[in-house]
Chain A
Amino acid sequence: MSINGLSRRALLQSIAFGSALSVASSIPGISFSASGGKLTVRFNRDMDSLDPGYYVGGHPDNDVNWCCMPALVHYDYVDGMAVWAKSPFVDRVEVVSPTRIEFKLKSGLMWSNGYGELTSEDVAFSYDRMAQSEWKGDYVAYDRTEIADKYSGALILKQAFAPFMTQTLSSGTGVIISKKATEAVGGKFTNDVPATCGPYVMEWKQGQYVRMTRNPEWTGTKPQYDEIYCPIVTEDSAAALAYEAGELDVAQISSDTYARYLKQVPADSKLTVAGALQYMWLGMNIDNPKMKDIRVRQAIQHAVDVSAINQGAYSGTAELSSGIVCPGLVGKRNQTGYSYDPAKAKALLDEAGVSGLSLTLRTLNNQERILASTIIQANLAAIGIAVEIMPLDSGPFWEMGQESKGDTWKDMEIWLMRYGSGPDPYGAFQWFVRDQVGIWNWERWSSDEFEKLYVELVAVSEAEERHKIAIRMQEIMEETGAYVFLTHEPEVFVHRDNISPRFAPSGETMLSYFKA
């Protein structure tokens, strides 16, 4: 007996094999160890784009860019505090005044593919371009770059901007790209970077791995490892198993695994919490006809049991969120204006005259988000809102709210979202200004007061004043009803105890700084 040309046994075997393969394919076929100059690091998703002006950002795009692309400054740590430090690409970076940062590039650093030497013209091109890009929020205070000579110049700011060094230049958007190479490919690129310049060169196999090997043309400080192999292991459990089996040297782990490792760390291993500069929320599209009535949105705010989400989806390892400013930063809120109160939620729905409401909850298709979505689904069902969960892969998920990527934004109702932040509260707010509606402000609200406060937050440098501004801005966000603030997830890594890692405050690995 055969089905579709296969015997039943063969078909069953194929299905079993296919299922196993789908899991196993995310586990590296070849293992490396930290010894011998090779480092194997888990990437939990594939790269979307390496163009700093038009990428999603975060991991793994920044991880790769910091190995293969120049920057003026990188993150370093002093007494556990994230600070900026000059990168291996420069001889000098100096903040000579609140609006003037001077730099001198090292000479002889060559772009790949014959695009010549890294020059101050590339710096000017990169930052002028960033100021016009989708990430222009990071460059809100940037005015221009004055070129002094081939290697020297100065960044001029329109006004003093406290986080320019630690937020703008040190983060992934501070990466410098080759002017000639970028213009040669039409001004934008994705993962086919037209020219790289850094301690490593990259080889990428879509959906499988990123391999970075020493750049033979690199004349700067040599990094520790000859080769950094980054298999794309999307499954958290597979990653933990691969780590325990010795297939990985460094792996980002899920909250369940973190909770388990807190009880017993694997042999010869350490846990490092890279930061908790993540803010996760349940977003609502106020332009969607189902969500127009603020009482419906407020009902949802009161209906979601955030503590249950932390316990059920994150094993209690995340910090509950009251806003978008992350723990340890100026402007962190300690309490929301709403609380878990299903009776009040039901009353708000009744007041709005809404019954039989059904909503689609869009989320990234991973374990923690699905669990969180399932809890929200149950919470909303308790007040009479039927929720269908729509799990999405990262590609369609990150495009769904962008007007430039199609019409999906019109259908969006509610979704689970998580952004990463830099070490300054400004970084979190930039995505919710009016200019970002239809780009990254998927809730699609705007407020004159918020815009005014945003400008003040950029200009003011006094911590107490900035705290007050940030608090008020989060209150405005909450008052739209478009947010249920959920958690600040820690970015936790397990690694061999002979490895000394370095992470960005937002949790990306800075692999060229890893030491054995």
Chain B
Amino acid sequence: MSEIASNKALESAKKDQGIKGHMSESREKLSLFLNNRLGMFGLMLVVLFFVSAIFAPYFATHDPFLMNIPQRMSGPTLEHWAGTDQLGRDTYSRVIYGGRVALKVAAIGVSISLFVGLLLGMLAGYGPRWLDNFLLLIFDSIRSFPTIVLALAAVALLGPSLELVLAVVIVTSIPGYARLARTSTLALKNTEFILAERSLGAHPAIIMWRHIMPNVIGPLLILAAMDVPVVVTIEAGLSFLGLGVLPPTASWGTILNEGYLVIRDTPWPIIAGGIPLVLTTLGFTFLGEALRDVFDPRLRKGK
């Protein structure tokens, strides 16, 4: 009995040490993140982006679609903080609502790409060789298309729309996640704990779900954070080219496009549309890099 009690005490002590170790590690990471000034600045910008987009009706001063043609292309005033566009719509309010389009594309696009990429990557890494080769062929074929060219082709066939932008973003982003997931899965595939599961007769789906996915998802989440600015920029770029959202929807890209067309008359739409795009891109980039620094110990040691 005393031996059993002694063992239990030992296990309990180990468990406590593990939890404390884990907590200590978490605290260390949090501390690292909090001490990363660019990361904190990025987090602040990202929070601002999310809050302004989600609560756009509270931040906007006007209906973003309300036209006031006699006041078209006016400069900043107390009533119109960033002036008005060609149809007299309030540019500031359109910029705020434009954030919703960026958020929608980023959130939906990155989430679906991440999920599908993770699934296909694990299948490629854990499945039979022929499936791996087949999926790699698909990934590389998609990667060989520049995003803009693919978007141009898709728009020529289907016409411009936000859904099409999303589809292009998703299709072109999946291979990046899938490649990363596949590499991590291949590294895990022959580890002892996976071999043990297989020898016990565990179903491959269970192994992938319970043992592989938790180990590969971390790097994918960091990649996702760093992908958001890319996706936001792609949406803005496509909308700038007239291949994205349709009028009268406000998006940063369409605001830039409309502003560019009247830049000789008023610079304010270009300025107002450009600033949030720059800040959001910077915010997510700084945040992503800070997360990478925190979660990738090799990088930390390298510093």
**Which A residues contact B (CB, under 8 angstroms)?**
1-5, 8, 11-12, 14-16, 18-19, 22-23, 235-237, 240-241, 256-257, 260, 308, 311-313, 365, 367, 370-371, 373-375, 377-378, 388-393
Q: Which of A2, A260, A370 contacts B264 (CB 8 A)?
A: A260
Judged by a CB distance under 8 angstroms, whether B172 is at the interface is: yes
Mask of B161-181 contacts with A, CB within 8 angstroms, 1/0: 000000000001101100000
User: 16 extra interchain contacts, Cβ-Cβ under 8 A, other than A313-B86, A378-B248?
Assistant: A4-B142, A4-B143, A8-B226, A11-B230, A12-B281, A14-B148, A15-B147, A15-B237, A240-B264, A256-B86, A256-B265, A311-B69, A312-B86, A374-B67, A375-B69, A391-B242
Mask of B115-134 contacts with A, CB within 8 angstroms, 1/0: 00000000000000000000
Contacts of A19 in B (CB 8 A): 237, 240-241
Evaluate contact between A1 and B223: CB separation under 8 angstroms.
Answer: yes
Contacts of A374 in B (CB 8 A): 67, 87, 247-248
Evaluate contact between B237 and A8: CB separation under 8 angstroms.
Answer: no
Evaluate contact between B237 and A390: CB separation under 8 angstroms.
Answer: no
Interface core residue of A4, A22, A388 (most chain B CB under 10 Å): A4
Evaluate contact between A4 and B175: CB separation under 8 angstroms.
Answer: yes
Contacts of B185 in A (CB 8 A): none
The CA of A451 and the CA of B248, in the complex, are separated in Å by 40
In the A-B complex, the 4 residue pairs with the smallest Cβ-Cβ separation, listed nearest first, are A15-B237, A18-B148, A4-B143, A312-B69
Evaluate contact between A1 and B265: CB separation under 8 angstroms.
Answer: no
CB distance from B284 to the nearest CB of A (A): 10
Contacts of A23 in B (CB 8 A): 260
Q: If A1-B292, A3-B227 touch, does A308 touch B69 (CB 8 Å cutoff)?
A: yes
The CA of A115 and the CA of B111, in the complex, are separated in Å by 64
- Chain A interface secondary structure, helix, strand, loop or mixed? helix
The CA of A114 and the CA of B237, in the complex, are separated in Å by 49
Judged by a CB distance under 8 angstroms, whether B263 is at the interface is: yes
Contacts of A3 in B (CB 8 A): 173, 176, 227, 230
Evaluate contact between A390 and B262: CB separation under 8 angstroms.
Answer: no
CB distance from A498 to the nearest CB of B (A): 24
Q: Which of B87, B242, B260, B265 contacts A375 (CB 8 A)?
A: B87
Q: If A12-B230, A378-B67, A378-B248 touch, does A22 touch B241 (CB 8 Å cutoff)?
A: yes
Mask of B283-294 contacts with A, CB within 8 angstroms, 1/0: 001001000100
Contacts of B288 in A (CB 8 A): 1
Q: If A3-B230, A14-B146 touch, does A375 touch B292 (CB 8 Å cutoff)?
A: no
The CA of A72 and the CA of B240, in the complex, are separated in Å by 46
CB within 8 Å of A: which B196-247 residues = 223, 226-227, 229-230, 233-234, 237, 240-242, 246-247
Judged by a CB distance under 8 angstroms, whether B57 is at the interface is: no
Judged by a CB distance under 8 angstroms, whether B160 is at the interface is: yes
Judged by a CB distance under 8 angstroms, whether B21 is at the interface is: no
Contacts of A257 in B (CB 8 A): 264
Evaluate contact between A18 and B248: CB separation under 8 angstroms.
Answer: no
Mask of B60-77 contacts with A, CB within 8 angstroms, 1/0: 000001010110100000
Judged by a CB distance under 8 angstroms, whether B18 is at the interface is: no
The CA of A236 and the CA of B261, in the complex, are separated in Å by 8
Q: If A12-B233, A18-B237, A367-B261 touch, does A377 touch B247 (CB 8 Å cutoff)?
A: yes
Contacts of A15 in B (CB 8 A): 147-148, 233-234, 237
Q: Which of A2, A22, A312, A390 contacts B176 (CB 8 A)?
A: A2
CB distance from A64 to the nearest CB of B (A): 25
CB distance from B282 to the nearest CB of A (A): 11
Q: If A375-B87, A378-B65, A389-B247 touch, does A237 touch B263 (CB 8 Å cutoff)?
A: yes
Evaluate contact between A389 and B263: CB separation under 8 angstroms.
Answer: no
Evaluate contact between B172 and A4: CB separation under 8 angstroms.
Answer: yes
Residue of B nearest to A241 (CB): B264
Residue of B nearest to A370 (CB): B247
26 contacts between A and B (CB under 8 A): A3-B173, A4-B147, A4-B173, A8-B229, A12-B229, A12-B281, A15-B147, A18-B148, A19-B241, A241-B264, A256-B86, A256-B265, A260-B264, A260-B265, A312-B69, A312-B86, A312-B88, A370-B247, A374-B247, A375-B67, A375-B87, A378-B65, A378-B248, A389-B246, A390-B159, A390-B246
